[in-house]
Every structure is written in C-alpha cells, then in structure tokens.
Amino acid sequence: MVALDRSLISQLPLFQGMAPQEQSEILKGARSSRYAKDTTIFEQEAEAQSFFVLISGHIRVVRTTPDGQQVIARYISEGEIFGVAAALGRTTYPASAVAAVDCVVLAWPNALWPELARRFPAFGATIYRTVGTRLQEAQTRVVEMSTEQV
C-alpha cells in the first residue's frame, strides 16, 4: 500500500494545529477511495465499519423514513468528516452517504477511532465539536419547522 501524502489533509480545518508528524501518523491508517456521482458510500443502518473525510467533491446525507421517503439531511463539503458513528457510540450509520458528484474520500477503520482520539486529543476534540455543531443545526431546523406557519 502506498503511503498517502500529508498534503491531502494538512490544510483541512480538522487537522489544523497538529504537527506534521501527527498528521502523518493519522494518515497511516487511512485509505483513499474514489466514488463516482450517485454512488453510495454507505447505507443507512448498515454496520458502521469506517469513518471518512471528504477530500474532493460533495456528498448528500440521505435519511429514509419508515414509509420509504428519502430526505436529504445535509450536504458534506470538502474537508468535512462524516460517517462518525463510532464517535456517536453507534454501531450502524444513522443515514446513507451518496456522492453528489465524483468524490475522493479518505476512510479509517472504526477500530482505530478510540486510539486516534486518545493519541491525538485535538483530532478527537475537533470531531466532537463538529458533531455538536451539526446537532445544534438540526435542532435549529426542527424549531424553525415547528414554528413556521402552514
């Protein structure tokens, strides 16, 4: 396996404030994959085996309701982490991730999550902040929807 170049992540907010050696260490466990437009990266309720960072492209996060309707929950932009079920204490993905355009993604096995969060506290803290921000955005949208006039 070819080592990934640190320049892939060095400018991403998720990895800011980390020493080059730390960034290289985190990259050791990653693999790079390409996904064509409309390809599913993972399915809702599938076993969560990896977490991801989007290097290039855009991803739709899609939730399927019990009656089969699909709702776009959010869009993932370049540099964002997604599929962090392990950080949420989940064993399955809460939604599906679909490439909105051709994408390049880095993926780490979920088995590495506890070690990475322990060895690189800034990395873990940034991911938890991201999850918290997304939760706040979701709560704001729920309030907006529940208070809008019909």
In a domain? residue 148: no
CATH number at residue 79: 2.60.120.10
In a domain? residue 14: no
- Burial of 127-137, coded b for 16+ CB within 10 Å and e otherwise, reads beebeeebeee
pLDDT digits (tens, 9 = 90+) for 87-137: 778 899 999 999 999 999 999 999 998 888 888 877 766 666 666 665 666
SS3 44: coil
Domain count, the chain: 1
Q: Which two tokens stand for residue 111?
A: 């088995």
Q: Whole-number mean pLDDT of the chain?
A: 85
pLDDT digits (tens, 9 = 90+) for 2-43: 567 788 788 888 887 788 999 888 898 899 999 999 999 999
The runs of H, that is alpha helices, within the chain are: 20-28, 113-119, 121-147
In a domain? residue 6: no
Domain containing 114 equals 22-139
In a domain? residue 10: no
In a domain? residue 15: no
In a domain? residue 77: yes
In a domain? residue 2: no
